[in-house]
Chains A and B, each alone.
Chain A
């Protein structure tokens, strides 16, 4: 028998050909055991990104405009519809804090930040997150709800026809009576001519109205006809109105009426109103016009509650917390963000007192999970908000998740399919209608060991162009986000594998946002 049983261990492969990596996009894995993880995974990355199956040097950054005078609290774009030009107007804004603690807003014009507006109230908190809704930019600072808005306002104006007898015509050969718009320089609204017709005898009289827009006369619409049948009758058609179709008029434009036909045995007297001199019941022409856009920066409403965080939901504004009651959820009237006191019209509030895990579990942030479900994050629990359908108590508030919460108000960000947030234990998570789904297991160990104590300065933003989520953590107890982790959401949607990479080191920041095409 001897040593027949001794044989060398079988070699199953050609060792020199063993590793071959066709792609390097496996992702960063800091927690997994190096012995078991795929060798193509990265253990370290700085300033590189995965792209189309490869790694490449990360993108750079371009400064926009000049340096602000103090800490930038938020960057956002502001959108409103302009009724004059029928287009959407968009502006890039930066909100920062002046030396006295007041909020300042600058808008970007070309390559310059201009028009600083200063609030009349000092900010109680620098952690603010503005939302653009219903033509307003709103945010809360712990004490108050602020708003920024811009747009034209409606202004009522009047002008009179000439005083009697110059405002009177009796035959179709008479010279038309004209009124010159003298009150305002910009008119683009509803305008109404007031006049009186006196008809004598059987027959009818037809009038035409027109306007002179600076170059030509325009007859507006069909003739207006008044008639009667009695031969000796005298009928006064008082307080008549003629509403012009939309037209571009301005200072110096003229409005006129003339008789274009008298039929039968009738005779007529037509008089444009002159309220000031003749005492007619209305001015000769009443009209609305839009002012040039006016910027408004101040409190949302004197009736609005104190709040630490606001967000839009179901055409309302939801206000959380506040210095007088950190447990309050309040909501405005549907479609009217200024109205917080019309309780029969849908406004309301409640105090959440039954926190299960902590009797003082303050509300931190909130946002829409889906179109009809919103979430309110407390430090150790999550509440669910839905619209009740009962206007007397319009918002339903229910317990949703216990023992998990959020201490990072600026981390709450809408992403496809849910609401991203950084959990109280630093884990990046997504809240979907099904619940909380952690998605940062591979970087969590490192986060927990990185002395991240200022959880409230954690920031996040979803980059819709690249389908990536940027999450900034304050490593080593910093006062701002110093280390960014970038989540590849496209890869997540395709494979359900969480792929993170280290973000650019130059992004030491206080505020982050995704805005529409910055210049």
Chain B
């Protein structure tokens, strides 16, 4: 049997592909299959030629989730080579909250290249809309001046 549409109607379109296991699959906007996925920021210090050390203390995240799940907020001080979980655990999402939620995760990491990563570790759809790190600048103070 064929799918039949009346003239003038505009059916929506689907992305399909034939995978290497010879299965036809289509993009399904209502679900996720993979159990991983992440977004990692650039160096949030924006250091240039003069490296300045800083300490990441907090990351505040605004998010919305489609169900009961959790995701990790992680940070790196080595350019993304290794990632450290927040001190106060993963972000746990609820199933019955439809508005944006805010959570603050704590760190105490010092470095000159600080990156933040959101790690989705379940199949539930989660969207992160906004995030804000709190940075404490440490390191040496630089003095300059002229003798007259």
Contacts and interface: CB of A to CB of B under 8 A. Distances in A.
Interface of A: 1, 3-9, 15-24, 29, 34-48, 51-65, 67-75, 87-92, 94, 96, 107, 109-110, 113, 459, 461, 463-466, 470, 480, 504-519
B31 interface: yes
Given A23-B129, A507-B17, A7 B5 contact: no
Nearest to B69: A57
Given A15-B54, A48-B39, A88-B7, A509 B19 contact: yes
B22 to A, nearest CB: 4
Contact of A464 (B13, B80, B142): B13
A62 B28 contact: yes
7 contacts: A8-B143, A37-B42, A63-B25, A75-B17, A465-B14, A509-B20, A512-B16
A507 B19 contact: yes
B135 to A, nearest CB: 6
B13 to A, nearest CB: 5
Nearest to A1: B148
Contacts of B137: 15-16
Contacts of B42: 29, 34, 37-43
Contacts of B126: 56-57
A73 B17 CA distance: 10
A68 B16 CA distance: 15
Contacts of B105: none
A463 B27 contact: yes
A48 to B, nearest CB: 5
The 9 closest A-B pairs by CB, nearest first: A72-B18, A47-B37, A6-B145, A15-B137, A60-B33, A56-B127, A54-B129, A512-B17, A60-B32
Contacts of A91: 2-3
B33 A61 contact: yes
Nearest to A6: B145
Nearest to B29: A59
B47 interface: yes
A508 B22 CA distance: 10
A75 to B, nearest CB: 5
A58 B5 CA distance: 30
A21 B132 contact: yes
- Most chain B beta carbons < 10 A, residue from A24, A56, A516: A56
Contact of B2 (A45, A89, A113): A89
A71 B5 CA distance: 30
B130 A18 contact: no
B11 A55 contact: no
A245 to B, nearest CB: 23
Given A9-B143, A48-B120, A59 B113 contact: no
B139 to A, nearest CB: 10
B135 A505 contact: no
Interface in B103-119: 113, 115, 117-118
Contact of B115 (A20, A43, A56, A61): A43
A516 B120 CA distance: 31
Interface in B83-102: none
- Most chain A beta carbons < 10 A, residue from B33, B39, B115, B132: B39
B6 interface: yes
B144 interface: yes
